[in-house]
Amino acid sequence: MSVLVIAEHDNASIKGATLNTVTAAVACGGDVHVLVAGHNAGAAAQAAAQIAGVAKVIHADAASLAHGLAENVAAQVLAIAGNYSHILFAATASGKNVAPRVAAKLDVAQISDITKVVSQDTFERPIYAGNAIATVQSSDSVKVITVRTTGFDAAAATGGSAAVETAAAAADAGKSSYVGSEIAKNDRPELTAAKIIVSGGRALGSAEKFNEVITPLADKLGAAIGASRAAVDAGYAPNDLQVGQTGKIVAPQLYIAAGISGAIQHLAGMKDSKVIVAINKDPEAPIFSVADYGLEADLFTAVPELVKAL
Amino acid sequence: MKVLVPVKRVVDYNVKVRVKSDNTGVDIANVKMSMNPFDEIAVEEAVRLKEKGLVTEVIAVSCGVAQCQETLRTAMAIGADRAILVETDVELQPLAVAKLLKALVDKEQPSLIILGKQAIDDDANQTGQMLAALADLPQATNASKVELAADKVHVTREIDGGLETLALSLPAVITTDLRLNEPRYVTLPNIMKAKKKQLDTVKPEDLGVDVTPRLKTLKVTEPAKRGAGVKVADVAALVEKLKNEAKVI
């Protein structure tokens, strides 16, 4: 019995989410193999071979795999799926895009966003925006799973010495093509992997104020910046900073929520943070019900004061 | 060009659900139900494409209990032309829904299928992708912009680092993200008109689909509660707590 992990990578290196997924794979039992499908992704395959706990890396390289199109990546996974009892993806935008396609072709249910491996066929996953935890058992022969990365520790990125095997690339499905992308420039820690996150909400009032107030605090703490849906919808912060049920799920050591009321959908994305600090002038704001430390104050005075005090 | 829009009846997004004391599920008796928010965005997008003259017919579909008719009436009040209910009391999981939808896609031959990216109850984010796989169609998930041309659709997707644009050949499957549009409010005259629109009911057996659940839910529990927090008086006290008590900075 072996477990296959689909690596997330940028062709040169392996993304952090894959390391958490490898830990979940080890918990499923058996040999852990990693598939690196991409274009000119030799360096990423080498990096995958270094991950502790990985027994084998399968490297498929073709121009059709360059942009991770779901149709082509799913075909690549299906080409080797026959050898595995479990197929794991990170529950990231790309993992969620491909995994259900693989599951449907194998005619098995997919188990989304697992936070715990109870046994080889039983898993825990949050439902209803994290307000309930379901324990589900799969009777399918192959378990296709996406892994909530904050639910598992990252495997060590070095120390492994897996063999890299080359696999034939699947043919291009030819029904979709990549046109272009617009990647937000960001030299801060990645939101989903950051140890500290400073998040702003609607109360900031404008994009200028958002930058003026939130950025210095994030700089001071070496933190990633997050935002509530209200702040994103109002254009104060870009979409990919949204934390919540429909945005990123984060669980940093410290989460500072400034001017965020704490709607169910926002809490779904951050309530597993180790320490939560809320700064809000409304004493009734629901965010105070999950905050370890609450400061009832105007964020426009409190946040700059906090920057000064650090 | 026909568009098929699957919609789901879910617990309203403002309701704070409670786990049943016997841990068999969440208590959804007597709570407010509504159309899944992402599906409203999907219906709105289909209706906008129709208003632009790019689409001739919008068909709303729902799978589940008889009360899903209300959800379909809402879709028709937004502007869907007719509706199909696949009625069953069996708990439907994404794979089963994808198979039911595949059967309807075969029958109706739509050029575009627009779904929500995920339902806010099971949070699965699977059905659109599974439908695309079963029907062998290209997919674009998490769409924030859709541009329809003669035989292609350009879709801008929300991905982890930003945005990505794909070109798909038609027919294609699209799932909506929050940023795609702002759904309109339904007006009373449109609600009245929706009552007269056609709503057909079929059974999974009629479509030849086995909807038996594949995943067994062993139990549903409350998430771990967070310990009660404290309110601090001022910034100095906050910094002191973070440094000495929580030791996170």
Evaluate whether A254 touches B249 at the Cβ level (below 8 Å).
Answer: yes
Residue B63 has pLDDT above 90, yes or no: yes
Distance CA A181, CA B66 (A): 43
Q: How far B195 CA lies from chain A's nearest CA (Å)?
A: 31
Task: Retrieve residue A129's tokens.
Answer: 């925006």
**Could you tell me the sign of the dihedral formed by the alpha carbons of B70, B75, B79, B83, in that order?**
negative
Residue A50 has pLDDT above 80, yes or no: yes
Distance CA B78, CA B186 (A): 6
State the Cα–Cα distance between residues A96 and A17, nearest whole angstrom: 13
Mean pLDDT computed over every residue of chain B? 96
**Which pLDDT score, from 0 to 100, does residue A148 have?**
96
CA atoms lying within 13 Å on the CB side of residue A20: 22
Looking at residue B129, what is its pLDDT?
98
CB contact under 8 A, A293 and B126: no
Query: Which among B125, B35, B164 is positioned nearest to A129, based on CA atoms?
Result: B125
Q: Does A183 touch chain B (CB under 8 A)?
A: yes
pLDDT of A185 > 80? The answer is no
Which pLDDT tens digit goes with each residue over B207-218?
999 999 999 999
Neighboring chain B residues of A92 at a CB cutoff of 8 Å:
160
3-state secondary structure of B22: coil
DSSP at A141: S
Predicted confidence band of residue A268 (pLDDT cuts 50, 70, 90)? very high
Q: How confident is the model at residue B246 (pLDDT cuts 50, 70, 90)?
A: confident
Q: Which of A94, A101, A111, A128 has the highest number of chain B CBs within 10 A, making it the mutation to test binding with B?
A: A128
pTM check: above 0.80: yes
Contact assessment for residue B175 and residue B112, using Cβ atoms and an 8 Å cutoff? no
Q: For chain A, how long is the longest CA-to-CA vector? A: 60
Distance from CA of A81 to the nearest CA of B (A): 15
Which tokens sit at A289?
């019900």
Name residue A163's beta-bridge partners: A56
Residue A186, burial from CB neighbour count under 10 angstroms (0-12, 13-18, 19+): middle
Residue where the block lists tokens 């964020």: A299
Judged against a pLDDT cut of 80, whether residue A186 lies above it is answered with no
CB neighbourhood size of A156 (10 A) = 14
Q: Tokens 């919008």 correspond to what residue?
A: B58
Quick check: B228 pLDDT over 90? no
Residue A291 has its nearest CB partner, among B157, B222, B229, at: B229
Please report which residue ranges of chain B form alpha helices under DSSP H.
Answer: 37-51, 68-78, 94-108, 127-135, 188-196, 235-240
User: What's the pLDDT tens digit per position in A73-96?
Assistant: 999 999 999 999 999 999 999 999
Q: Does A9 touch chain B (CB under 8 A)?
A: no
Percent of chain A predicted with pLDDT > 70: 100
Burial B77-86 (b: 16+ CB within 10 A, else e): bbbbbbbbbb
Angle between helices B127-135 and B94-108 (to 10 degrees): 50
Measured over the CA atoms of residue B60, residue B64, residue B65 and residue B71, the dihedral's sign is negative
Residue B105: name the closest of B55, B154, B171 by CA.
Answer: B171
Determine the pLDDT at residue B185: 93
Residue bearing tokens 């046994």: A119
Residue A124 has pLDDT above 80, yes or no: yes
Residue A58 has pLDDT above 80, yes or no: yes
Span A193-203, pLDDT tens digits: 899 999 999 99
pLDDT at B150: 81
Q: How far is CA B9 from the centre of its chain?
A: 9
Cβ-contact B185, B204 below 8 angstroms: no
Which pLDDT value is given to residue B30?
93
Mean pLDDT of A119-140: 96
CB contact under 8 A, A295 and B234: yes
**Which pLDDT score is estimated for A213?**
96
Model confidence pLDDT, tens digit, residues A234-258: 999 999 999 999 899 999 999 999 9
In the structure encoding, which two tokens stand for residue B22, read together? 């016997």
Task: Provide the β-strand partners of residue A57.
Answer: A34, A164
Please give the pLDDT value at position A171.
Answer: 92
Q: Among all chains, which residue has been given the structure tokens 């379909």?
A: B72
Q: Mean pLDDT throughout B42-70?
A: 98
Give the closest residue to A37 by CA, choosing from A70, A71, A76, A4. A76
- Provide the percentage of residues in chain B whose pLDDT is more than 70: 100
When CB atoms are compared, the residue of B131, B163, B246 closest to A292 is: B246
SS3 B154: strand
How far apart CA B8 and CA B40 sit, in angstroms, is: 9
Cα gap B143→B164, rounded to integer Å: 9
Share of chain B above pLDDT 90, in %: 93
Average pLDDT of span A53-59: 97
- pLDDT for res A84: 97
Phi-psi region of A54 (alpha: psi -120 to 50; beta: other; left: phi over 0): beta
Distance (Å, whole) CA A10 – CA A32:
21
**Residue B178 — pLDDT band, cuts 50, 70, 90?**
very high
**Residue of chain B nearest A143, judged by CA positions:** B215
Residue A304 has pLDDT above 90, yes or no: yes
- What pLDDT shows up at residue B247? 85
Asked if residue B149 has pLDDT above 90, the reply is no
Nearest residue of A to residue B228 by CA position? A292
What are B70-114's pLDDT values in tens digits?
999 999 999 999 999 999 999 999 999 999 999 999 999 999 999
Mean pLDDT of B145-173: 95
Q: Residue A307: which H helix or E strand, with range?
A: helix A299-309
d(CA B8, CA B191) in angstroms, rounded, equals 18
Q: pLDDT tens-digit profile of A197-225?
A: 999 999 999 999 999 999 999 999 999 99
